């Protein structure tokens, strides 16, 4: 290889390592690091970045920064994280710009929200209260505090007036429609707006998030690899969410760890998604890098449950069926009819079943064969491209039904995360442990530990039932 060639090769490989993460970062708004409490112990740096000098001092200043569609469009940008291949440049940069610059609340303003919500000043409610936040959230900010009984907590405080302004902005459907149409030409505008509205209305209510998080936290209690911080109910309201404070390493740091560590973390993330779906019938809808804390050895803390979707058996059945038909039975006709029942494909579309298997099959390619597979950034991009392909042979006949929009988003996000980790595993075996039609044996050390946890969990449940 010539010198120039090898140089090119190096540049290529560096780019391919960085690019997906950079893109991911851009998609979630360039601010994802700031959104998670991972920087607990680096809060000094963080503070420098959160512009104190520009701190918002009144509800009016909040409205100027985040009202008049800005908050809503910011969320739109987040939701569109994996759709942005289609997004015109103006909007793409706008989205990232917007999130990059939401200044924090001044201590007095944050304190006034706490007072209004919890009935007392933070200095009296908590044994220790950090008056400046250590992280930003999309419609609020997160403070570190210590409760009067000595627990370290993260307190998410919502910007004042933001709930009302978001509600009003969402009512301006005509304007939203124009923006969505222009920004995401390939998307079904109406269902996208409906999803956006539903999500935002949920997200502004921290009590819902508290409920979701507790649901996950209780289920995963004692899990050897998966941790969900507990909610402190008595210090949480619709605008204030107090949870256990967890420290760990961020995604960027994980990328510097060795491949074995990355593989284990990826396995745990993958298990969390499958287990939550098949056992809890719930999906936490925000699989972006800022929502994880890594503790080494495959142990991961999952944060941010503002976007949780629950599935009924009816929602889930055709997906399970499609999986079974394709992956276990290798039966194209059966696969196709399951996709039709789920609403992904129009019944009677004039396309051969082989094409359906070929096009949709890509989404199952990590579990098609019983062998280790590496999820590369290139593979993750191919999946995203295929998903949003508006020109392929199936495009005129395929759709994402509303109840699955968030599921798809999570899947694409998951691939992007696993891809940037270059994660290798026998995904088929791991999947089989949880697929209801297989319920295979533990296939990895993490799987074995998880099986023991599950057995103990069942035992505990029995004991408590007898009592």
Partner 1 sequence: MDHLKQDVNHMEPLARAFSRSVSEHPADDGLFGPQSVVWRVHRDRSFPLAGLRSLMIQALHPLAMAGVAEHSTWREDPFGRVAATSGYILTVTYGDTATANKAATRVRAIHSHVNGTDPVTGLEYRAGNPSLLLWIHAAMVDSIVHVVQRYGRGLDSAAADRYVWEMVRFAELVGVPPKDVPASVAALEEYIESVGLLQATPAARDSIAIVLDPPGLDEDVRELWRELGHVAAGTLPAWARSMYGFEEPAAESMEREPVRQLIGALDIAFESIPGVMEARERIELRMRQ
Residue 393 has a CB neighbour count (10 Å cut-off) of 16
In angstroms, what is the minimal distance from the CB of 79 to partner 1? 15
Separation CA 128–CA 149 (nearest Å): 11
DSSP 224: S
C-beta of 70 vs 288, nearer to partner 1: 70
User: Residue holding tokens 């112990």?
Assistant: 41
Contacting residue, 70, 156, 199, 359, with partner 1 by CB under 8 A: 70
3-class SS of residue 46: helix
Contacting residue, 8, 49, 64, 234, with partner 1 by CB under 8 A: 64
Span of 30-38, 62-70, 363-371, 440-448 interacting with partner 1 by CB under 8 A: 62-70
In angstroms, what is the minimal distance from the CB of 53 to partner 1? 6
DSSP 436: T
Answer whether 166's CB lies under 8 Å from 72's CB: yes
Query: In this structure, what token pair is assigned to residue 118?
Result: 């919890």
Separation CA 166–CA 204 (nearest Å): 8
In angstroms, what is the minimal distance from the CB of 350 to partner 1? 32
Query: In this structure, what token pair is assigned to residue 70?
Result: 């800005």
Contacting residue, 68, 189, 353, 355, with partner 1 by CB under 8 A: 68
3-class SS of residue 212: helix
| Residue 168 found at the interface with partner 1 (CB under 8 A) | yes
Find the length of the chain.
467
In angstroms, what is the minimal distance from the CB of 213 to partner 1? 30
Q: Which residues contact 238 (CB under 8 A, 6 or more apart)?
A: 117, 163, 204, 205, 206, 207
| Residue 182 found at the interface with partner 1 (CB under 8 A) | yes
| Residue 48 found at the interface with partner 1 (CB under 8 A) | no
C-beta of 51 vs 233, nearer to partner 1: 51
Span of 94-102, 213-221, 252-260, 377-385 interacting with partner 1 by CB under 8 A: 94-102
Span of 13-21, 174-182, 325-333, 440-448 interacting with partner 1 by CB under 8 A: 174-182
In angstroms, what is the minimal distance from the CB of 81 to partner 1? 17
Span of 3-11, 134-142, 166-174, 277-285 interacting with partner 1 by CB under 8 A: 166-174
User: What is the C-alpha radius of gyration for the chain, rounded to an integer number of angstroms?
Assistant: 23
Read off φ and ψ for residue 155, nearest 5 degrees: -115, 110
In angstroms, what is the minimal distance from the CB of 61 to partner 1? 9
Answer whether 116's CB lies under 8 Å from 129's CB: no
Separation CA 271–CA 253 (nearest Å): 21
**DSSP codes, 297-364:** TTEEEE---SSEEE--HHHHHHHHHHHIIIIII--HHHHHHHHHHHTSB-TT-SS-HHHHHHHHHGGG
Contacting residue, 7, 11, 14, 51, with partner 1 by CB under 8 A: 51
Span of 66-74, 119-127, 193-201, 405-413 interacting with partner 1 by CB under 8 A: 66-74
In angstroms, what is the minimal distance from the CB of 41 to partner 1? 28
| Residue 31 found at the interface with partner 1 (CB under 8 A) | no
Contacting residue, 52, 178, 369, 452, with partner 1 by CB under 8 A: 178
C-beta of 60 vs 354, nearer to partner 1: 60
H/E stretch holding 282 reads: strand 282-284
Answer whether 356's CB lies under 8 Å from 394's CB: yes
Separation CA 392–CA 367 (nearest Å): 23
Restricting to residues 97-136, which ones interact with partner 1 according to CB under 8 A? 97-98, 101
Answer whether 173's CB lies under 8 Å from 196's CB: no
| Residue 62 found at the interface with partner 1 (CB under 8 A) | no
CA distances from residue 158 to 104, 133, 166, 297, 354 in whole angstroms, order as listed: 11, 12, 12, 34, 51
Span of 14-22, 34-42, 53-61, 352-360 interacting with partner 1 by CB under 8 A: 53-61
Restricting to residues 196-225, which ones interact with partner 1 according to CB under 8 A? none
| Residue 8 found at the interface with partner 1 (CB under 8 A) | no
| Residue 172 found at the interface with partner 1 (CB under 8 A) | yes
C-beta of 179 vs 368, nearer to partner 1: 179
DSSP 106: P
In angstroms, what is the minimal distance from the CB of 171 to partner 1? 9
Contacting residue, 4, 45, 48, 53, with partner 1 by CB under 8 A: 53
Contacting residue, 2, 89, 312, 464, with partner 1 by CB under 8 A: 89
DSSP 435: -
Which spans of this chain sit near partner 1 (rule: CB under 8 A)? Answer: 51, 53-54, 60, 64, 67-70, 73, 88-91, 93-98, 101, 168-169, 172, 175, 178-179, 182-183
């Amino acid at each position: 290889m010539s010198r120039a060639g090898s140089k090119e090769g190096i540049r290529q490989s560096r780019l391919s390592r960085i690019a997906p993460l950079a893109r991911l970062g851009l998609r979630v708004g360039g601010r994802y690091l700031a959104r998670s409490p991972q920087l607990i112990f680096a809060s000094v740096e963080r503070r420098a970045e959160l512009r104190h000098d520009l701190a918002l001092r009144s509800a009016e200043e909040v409205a100027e920064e985040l009202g008049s569609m800005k908050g809503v469009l910011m969320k739109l940008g987040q939701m569109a994280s994996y759709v942005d291949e289609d997004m015109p440049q103006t909007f793409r940069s706008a989205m990232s710009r917007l999130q990059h610059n939401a200044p924090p609340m001044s201590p007095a303003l944050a304190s006034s929200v706490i007072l209004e919500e919890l009935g007392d000043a933070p200095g009296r409610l908590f044994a220790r209260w950090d008056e400046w936040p250590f992280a930003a959230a999309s419609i609020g900010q997160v403070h570190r505090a210590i409760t009067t009984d000595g627990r370290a907590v993260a307190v998410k405080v919502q910007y004042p007036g933001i709930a009302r302004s978001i509600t009003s902005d969402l009512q301006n459907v005509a304007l939203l429609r124009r923006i969505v149409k222009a920004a995401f030409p390939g998307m079904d505008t109406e269902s996208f707006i409906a999803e956006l509205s539903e999500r935002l209305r949920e997200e502004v209510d921290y009590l819902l998030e508290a409920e979701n998080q507790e649901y996950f936290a209780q289920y995963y209690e004692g899990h050897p690899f998966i941790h969900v911080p507990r909610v402190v109910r008595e210090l949480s309201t619709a605008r204030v969410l107090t949870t256990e404070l967890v420290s760990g390493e961020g995604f960027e740091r994980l990328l510097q760890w060795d491949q074995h560590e990355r593989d284990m973390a990826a396995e745990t993330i993958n298990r969390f998604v499958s287990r939550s779906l098949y056992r809890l019938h719930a999906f936490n809808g925000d699989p972006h890098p800022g929502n994880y804390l890594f503790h080494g050895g495959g142990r991961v803390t999952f944060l941010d449950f503002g976007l949780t979707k629950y599935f009924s058996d009816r929602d889930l059945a055709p997906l399970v069926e499609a999986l079974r038909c394709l992956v276990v039975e290798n039966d194209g006709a059966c696969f196709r009819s399951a996709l039709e029942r789920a609403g992904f494909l129009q019944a009677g579309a004039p396309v051969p079943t082989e094409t359906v298997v070929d096009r949709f099959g890509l989404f199952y390619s990590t579990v098609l064969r019983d062998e280790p597979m590496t999820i590369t950034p290139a593979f993750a991009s191919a999946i995203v491209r295929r998903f949003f392909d508006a020109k392929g042979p199936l495009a005129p006949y395929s759709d994402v039904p509303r109840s699955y929009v968030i599921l798809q988003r999570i899947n694409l996000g998951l691939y992007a995360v696993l891809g940037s980790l270059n994660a290798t595993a026998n995904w088929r075996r791991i999947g089989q442990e949880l697929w209801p039609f297989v319920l295979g044996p533990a296939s990895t050390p993490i799987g074995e530990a998880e099986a023991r946890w599950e057995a103990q969990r069942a035992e505990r449940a029995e004991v408590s039932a007898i009592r």
